[in-house]
Amino acid sequence: MVNADITYNQKSDIYTIKTPLSLVGLRGVLESFLHLQVGAGEDDSKPNVREEYNISISADLRDDSFNASDDCGNECLREGILLCLLRKLKDDNEDVTIVNPSQVTEE
């Protein structure tokens, strides 16, 4: 099981991701997760209005299963945030910071 904890600051349009995945691996997980959401149905829930959104995705690479949690309040908002992130990752955008949790040291 691998995790990606994503924070998106809407005001600054900056993403911070904590994950042990490589850039290619992260893109693959996001693409697979988003592909599985196509046709999942409509979400009429009211989206939360926040400055910062947190999305956590866990992927079991043995069987391509996913779990996701977020504070978006609406799956369409969550998928939109992830789709924009995927686009930025493909463009090697500087508005994305990826941190490997095993390399973080406490000061």
The predicted-structure confidence for 65-84, as pLDDT tens digits, reads as follows 999 999 999 999 999 999 99
Range of the domain at 63: 2-103
The mean pLDDT value for 40-56 works out to: 89
- Total domains present in the chain: 1
> How far lies 105's CA from each of 15, 17, 100, in Å?
20, 16, 11
Residues 42, 101: contact at Cβ < 8 Å? no
Q: How far apart are CA 77 and CA 29, in angstroms?
A: 18
Please say if the pLDDT value at position 15 is more than 80.
yes
The mean pLDDT value for 42-64 works out to: 91
Q: pTM, whole model, 2 decimals?
A: 0.87
Q: If you average pLDDT over each of 11-25, 37-51, 86-100, which comes out highest?
A: 11-25
